[in-house]
Structure 1
Amino acid sequence: MEPSGLLVTGASFAAFRGLHWGLQLLPTPGPAAQNRWKWRNICASLVHSLLSGAGALLGLSLYPQMAADPINGHPPWALVLVAVSVGYFLADGADMLWNQTLGQAWELLCHHLVVVSCLSIAVLSGQFVGFSVVSLLLELNSACLHLRKLLLLSHQAPSLAFSVTSWATLATLALFRLVPLGWMSLWLFREHHQVPFSLVVLGGTGLVIVGVMSITLGIRILVNDVLQSRPHSPIPGHKETRRTRTCCDGEPVTRNNFTVSLKY
C-alpha cells in the first residue's frame, strides 16, 4: 500500500470539493442560469480534464518507459497524477449524489465507479501506474466534451465556436480515447499472464464499458452536431418551420429546419 497515494487522493478530494463550493460564488452566464449546478459541475470537470490530460500527455512524452513497462516503469510524480484523478472522481461522485437523484446520475456514477476501481489499484499497490497514466489520455477528449456542454448550456449552438468544438471533440475522441482504449485492450490481452486474473477481469470489464460508452457518444455527437446540422434544400410546397431540437446532452438548440423527431 502507498500511503503517499492515499494522502494525495484525500487532498485532491478536498480540493475539488472546495472548487465545487468556490464556483458557487462566481456568477453564472445568463443563458445557463437555470442550470447553475450543472454549469459549476462541468467547469470543475473541465479543470480536472485539462490538468490530468495534459499531465498524462506530457508525462508519456518525457517518460515513454511508462508505456514500455506499464506495470512498474514510472516516476514518482506519475502516481501523484493518478491519485489526483481518483480524488476528483470521488469528489465529482459526491457532488452528483448531493445535487441529483440516483435516477439522474446513475450512468455517470457507474462510469466513475469503474474508473475509481481501476485507478485505485495503482494508488494502493504502486503498480500499473503507467497503464493508468495511459488511460488518463482520455481526459484530453473529455476536456472537449466538457467545453461542448458548456457551449450548449450557454445557448451557443449553432455557432462557429460550437462547430469547431464538435469537430475537435470527434478528432480527440478518435485519437485520445479510442486509440488508448485499443492499446490498453491489446496490452491486457497479450500480457494477461503477468496480471492477476481478478485484475484482468476488472480491467477488461472497465475497458469494455468505457469503450461502448465512447463509441455511443461519438455516434451521438456525429449525428447531432454534424449530420443533423447540414443545411437542407427547401422542398417546393413545403414551408420551413422554426423548431427546437434537443441534442444528446439534453440541451435545446433552436434552428430553422424541418420538424424532425429525435429520440435516444
Structure 2
Amino acid sequence: MASWGLLVTGASFAAFRGLHWALQLLPAPGSAAQDRWKWRNICVSLLHSLLTGVGALLGLSLYPQMAADPIHGHPPWALVLVAVSVGYFLADGVDMLWNQTLRQAWELLCHHLVVVSCFSTAILSSHYVGFSMVSLLLELNSACLHLRQLLLLSHQAPSLAFRMASWATLATLALFRLVPLGWMSLWLIRQQHQVPPPLVILGATGLVTVGALSITLGVRILVSDVLRSQPHPPIPGHKETRGTRRCRDGELVTRDDSTLSLKD
C-alpha cells in the first residue's frame, strides 16, 4: 500500500507541475496581468482545494467510520486523496521556490512542510488516513480564500461578489477550519496513549501551526474586509492618503491590497 501511495503522490506532483506549466501559456486577465504568477498559482491552488475539500466532505459523509476510527478505518480511495494532496503541496512548494525568494515564501513553506510530514506518515503506514481526511475539510475554507484572492487580483474588492466571498471565507473558516482543528486536537489529547510519542509531537506541531495561522488569518480578514469597510462619515479637513481611496458616494474606504493566503 505504501508503494501505491508513493506512486499516486508522484503522479499528482507531475500533474500539478504540468498544470502550472500549462497555465503559463494562457493569458491572465487584464486586471491581473501585472502578477501573472500569483494568478496562476492561486488558480492551481483553487483546483486542489475544490478537489480535496469536496472529496473529503463526501468521503466522510459516505464513510463515517473514518471519523469514528481515524487510525484504521478508511477505504482505499481515501489514501489516494491524501496522496494527491501531498503531491500538490510538493508541487506548490517547488513553484514558490522557483518564483519567489525564500524570505517571501518561508511562512507557507513551513506550513507545507508540516502538512506533507503529517500526510506522508499516513501514506507510508496506511494508518491515520481518517485523521488526514478530517484535516482535508480545511480545504473547503481554502477554496473560499483562493476565490477571495482572485477577486482581489482582479480589483473586484468593492463588488458584491467580493463581499460574498469574504463572508463565505469567514463562515467556512469557523465551520471547516476551526471546528475540525478543535476536533483533531481533542482526539489527539484523548487518544495519545494509542499514538506513538513521535507522532503525537508531529501531530501537535501541525495542529498548533495551522491553528495559529488560521486564527491570525481570520482576524486579518475580519479587520480588512468587514471592520475597515464599514462606512464612516467624512472628516472635515481629512485628506486621502495612499492607503485610502474615495468611492462614488464620497466615503473613505481603506484599500485592501493584501492577498492573504493559507493552503492546507
TM-score by length of 2: 0.92
Matched, 1:177 2:174: no
Shift of 1:120: 0.5
Aligned to 2:85: 85
CA distance in 2, matches of 1:73, 1:36: 42
Give the 3-state SS of the residue equivalent to 1:17 in structure 2.
helix
Aligned to 2:74: 74
Once the two structures are aligned, what percentage of the paired residues are identical?
78
With over 3 angstroms needed to count, the CA separation of the structure-2 counterparts of 1:259 and 1:221, relative to structure 1, is closer
Q: Which amino acid aligns with 2:2?
A: E
CA distance in 1, matches of 2:253, 2:43: 33
Shift of 1:244: 3.9
CA distance in 2, matches of 1:213, 1:122: 23
- Between Structure 1 and Structure 2, how many residues are aligned? 255
CA distance in 2, matches of 1:24, 1:258: 37
Aligned to 1:34: 34
Aligned to 2:226: 226
Shift of 1:209: 0.7
Aligned to 1:48: 48
Aligned to 1:100: 100
The Cα offsets for residues 192-221 of structure 1, whole Å up to 9 and x where unpaired, read as: 000000000010011001000000000000
CA distance in 2, matches of 1:261, 1:244: 6
With over 3 angstroms needed to count, the CA separation of the structure-2 counterparts of 1:203 and 1:232, relative to structure 1, is same
Q: Say if 2:228 and 2:253, in contact at 8 Å, map to a contact too.
A: no
Q: Say if 2:82 and 2:123, in contact at 8 Å, map to a contact too.
A: yes
Aligned CA RMSD, in angstroms, stands at 1.9
Which aligned pairs between 1:103-114 and structure 2 lie closer than 5 A?
103-114=103-114
Structure 2 unaligned blocks of 5 or more: 259-264
Q: Say if 1:67 and 1:134, in contact at 8 Å, map to a contact too.
A: yes
Which aligned pairs between 1:135-174 and structure 2 lie closer than 5 A?
135-174=135-174
Aligned to 2:214: 214
Q: Say if 2:229 and 2:254, in contact at 8 Å, map to a contact too.
A: no
With over 3 angstroms needed to count, the CA separation of the structure-2 counterparts of 1:54 and 1:123, relative to structure 1, is same
Runs of at least 4 residues off by over 6 Å: 259-262
The Cα offsets for residues 74-122 of structure 1, whole Å up to 9 and x where unpaired, read as: 0000000000000000000000011111011000000000000000001
Q: Which amino acid aligns with 1:183?
A: W
CA distance in 1, matches of 2:118, 2:246: 42
Shift of 1:158: 1.1
Q: Say if 1:243 and 1:259, in contact at 8 Å, map to a contact too.
A: no
Shift of 1:233: 1.8
Shift of 1:261: 10
Aligned to 2:237: 238
CA distance in 2, matches of 1:199, 1:230: 45
CA distance in 2, matches of 1:40, 1:258: 32
Q: Which amino acid aligns with 1:12?
A: S
The Cα offsets for residues 129-184 of structure 1, whole Å up to 9 and x where unpaired, read as: 00000000000000000000011111111110000000000000000000000000
CA distance in 2, matches of 1:29, 1:261: 21
Give the 3-state SS of the residue equivalent to 1:119 in structure 2.
helix
With over 3 angstroms needed to count, the CA separation of the structure-2 counterparts of 1:130 and 1:238, relative to structure 1, is same
Give the 3-state SS of the residue equivalent to 1:156 in structure 2.
coil
Aligned to 2:202: 202
Aligned to 1:117: 117
Q: Which amino acid aligns with 1:135?
A: S
